[in-house]
Amino acid sequence: MNDVVHFVLAGVSCSLTRQDVERRLIHTDPAPITLHAVSINGLWYPVGQALEVATGVDRRKFRSREARRHLAQFGFELQSSVPRR
């Protein structure tokens, strides 16, 4: 999937592909997961951390439901209540 996804997050216009997201997270260690998680590059990340790293928008400026919605647009697997790692 090389489709560009356009969205606005906390007032910031973002245009990314799934590959952009994967590439930006490749050297990022996942933070502890408290509730909502996304699988990227074979690792589970908190959705807020993943979207923050992918977009550069501070995760305190958006809610996890926004992160889940945008990450789903890229076709990533999402889970709730993933065991803490």
**Would you state the pLDDT for residue 71?**
97
**One pLDDT digit (tens) per residue for the chain, 85 residues:** 579 999 999 999 999 999 999 999 999 999 999 999 999 999 999 999 999 999 999 999 999 999 999 999 999 999 997 555 5
Burial class of 7 by CB neighbour count within 10 A (0 to 12, 13 to 18, 19+): middle
**Would you state the pLDDT for residue 54?**
98
Q: Enter the tokens of residue 20.
A: 């952009």
Query: Which region, left, alpha or beta, applies to residue 72 given φ > 0 means left and ψ of -120 to 50 means alpha?
Result: alpha
Statement: the pTM of the whole predicted model exceeds 0.95: no
Cα torsion through 51, 56, 59, 62, rounded to 10: -80
